[in-house]
Amino acid sequence: MLKDIASFLRSTLMDVFKFFRSPRTNLKYAYGMPIYRNALYLVTNSVTTALLGAVFWILAARLYSPEDVGLGSALISAGTLISFIGTLGLGMGIIRFLSSSANKTQLLNSCFTIAFLASTVIAIVFLGGLSLWSPKLMFVCQNPFFFTTFVVFVALMTWGGILNSTFIGLRRANFTLAKGLITNLSKLLFVLVLASILKVFGIFASWGLAVTVGLAISLLFFLPTVLPHYRPVPCFQKQLNKEMIRFTFVNYIGETLRVMPNQILPLMVLHIIGSEANAYFYITWSMAGLLIAISGMTSFSLFAEGSHDEERLGVELRRSLKLVVLLLIPAIIAVFLLGDKILLLFGREYSTEGTQLLWLLAVAALPASINLLYLGKIRVERKLKEILFLTGGIALGTLVISYLLLPRIGILGGGVGWLASQTTVAFLLLPRLRKGTK
């Protein structure tokens, strides 16, 4: 098996090296392929969102007090989490089933309607229980305008997530990038304007208004381009059959498991080591997330392409693997050469404490790419049990190993847990991945 794996990896690298023989011609050729084009749009969207997000928080830190920034960031985190829960996994169902739907408009409007209602109810329940789980945010409940605005913006955030999946599913990720740019640039404008008007609520309001602007432009101009004569009308479509509901629910659980280490590890570090260590861990983990975005967004592109033509899944899988290697290897090298200097932007302590962790996470991006591409493959094939075993195995392994190592080796324990889990699973999946590219 090891010989077969080595041969597979060697042939993949040789294919990538061929790209550099005539990069200009190959770039033009690659851009003509939807899987490459859409993956590059999605990766670019992730990078620009991270960069403009950093600018947003720099402006917020200068315009608002530290206490206001803390409360505003907590509201945004809560709103983002509620909007994710409110999608009910329908985004995955859209990517898989929208392209083959006989009535795309009604199917999409049904998903919009369900997600809007779900996120609205969850947001109201969240605000109703603030006195129990977050008393410092009670000022939102005490002001009817803040209460209503929070609920509406969270519902619109949910629509934004559904719309991103729609563009991915229809192989028009260029609109995902355009929507992201409009939203993130609008945030910078609104955070400046609202600083003197809404005070503490201005940070969340600037975020919500920006989401609204991006969503409105997308619904009025972008979506009708890919779905002619589209109109957003509340409805419930019978096409939400048992197959789609089951697929959506399992992928919802799987996606929750996949992102679970992102949410739990910082809390684990905070509880076991302390707030200062968590600051170093969180910033470093966030930087490494850009490396994971390369394979993560390529996996979504593979999922969309395979859903359009399942017979070409093997061809598209191999193309996805080449693209990830082409983009990820230089990025990892850059992290090893410049990672410590980039962390210096946050302070010398961040560079001293976080560089080795960043290196570990950069290495882990390689096996993680194998796992994410395989995840895209089995999503197309609707292998629901494998989806749960894959995402759940990585999440459980990461959290258990990290919990055991954090008290002994500090924040490096989180990196070792992530690397060990990703590598173990990738080693088991490589033979299947190799078979899948044939």
Q: Is 283's pLDDT higher than 70? A: yes
- pLDDT of amino acid 29: 56
- pLDDT of amino acid 21: 53
- pLDDT of amino acid 239: 55
Q: Is 402's pLDDT higher than 70? A: yes
- pLDDT of amino acid 67: 77
Nearest to 340 by CA among 358, 364, 366, 328: 358
Q: Is 235's pLDDT higher than 70? A: yes
Q: Identify the weakest region by mean pLDDT among 72-81, 204-213, 380-389.
A: 72-81
- The mean per-residue pLDDT over the stretch 159-163 comes to 95
- What is the rounded distance in angstroms from the CA atom of residue 106 to the CA atom of residue 84? 22
- What confidence category does residue 238 fall into, taking pLDDT thresholds of 50, 70 and 90? low
Percent of the chain topping pLDDT 70:
91
- Contact at 8 Å (CB) between 112 and 230? no
CB contact burial 182-209 (16+ within 10 A = b; e otherwise): bbbbbbbebbeebbeebebbbbbbbbbb
- pLDDT of amino acid 216: 96
121: tokens are 């109810």
- Contact at 8 Å (CB) between 361 and 420? no
Q: Identify the weakest region by mean pLDDT among 141-145, 176-180, 281-285.
A: 281-285
**pTM of the model as a whole:** 0.84
- pLDDT of amino acid 32: 66
- Contact at 8 Å (CB) between 406 and 273? yes
Taking only the tens place, the pLDDT of each residue in 121-160 is: 999 998 999 888 778 889 999 999 999 999 999 999 999 9
81: tokens are 């989490």
- pLDDT of amino acid 181: 97
- Contact at 8 Å (CB) between 69 and 61? yes
User: In Å, how far from its chain's centre is CA 52?
Assistant: 16
- The mean per-residue pLDDT over the stretch 166-182 comes to 95
- The mean per-residue pLDDT over the stretch 196-225 comes to 92
- pLDDT of amino acid 36: 85
Q: Is 236's pLDDT higher than 70? A: yes
Q: Average pLDDT, whole number, for the chain?
A: 87
Taking only the tens place, the pLDDT of each residue in 5-45 is: 455 555 555 555 555 555 555 555 556 678 888 998 999 99
Taking only the tens place, the pLDDT of each residue in 344-364 is: 877 788 889 999 999 999 999
Cα separation values, 233 from 4, 97, 237, 401, Å: 53, 20, 11, 48
Give residue 235's region: left, alpha or beta (phi > 0; psi -120 to 50). beta
Classify the C-alpha dihedral 218-223-226-228 as positive or negative.
negative
Taking only the tens place, the pLDDT of each residue in 315-341 is: 899 889 888 988 899 999 999 999 999
Nearest to 215 by CA among 161, 151, 145: 161
Q: Is 438's pLDDT higher than 80? A: no
- pLDDT of amino acid 434: 81
- pLDDT of amino acid 74: 78
- The mean per-residue pLDDT over the stretch 352-377 comes to 95
- pLDDT of amino acid 1: 46
Taking only the tens place, the pLDDT of each residue in 67-88 is: 787 788 778 878 888 898 899 9
84: tokens are 């994710």
Percent of the chain topping pLDDT 90:
53
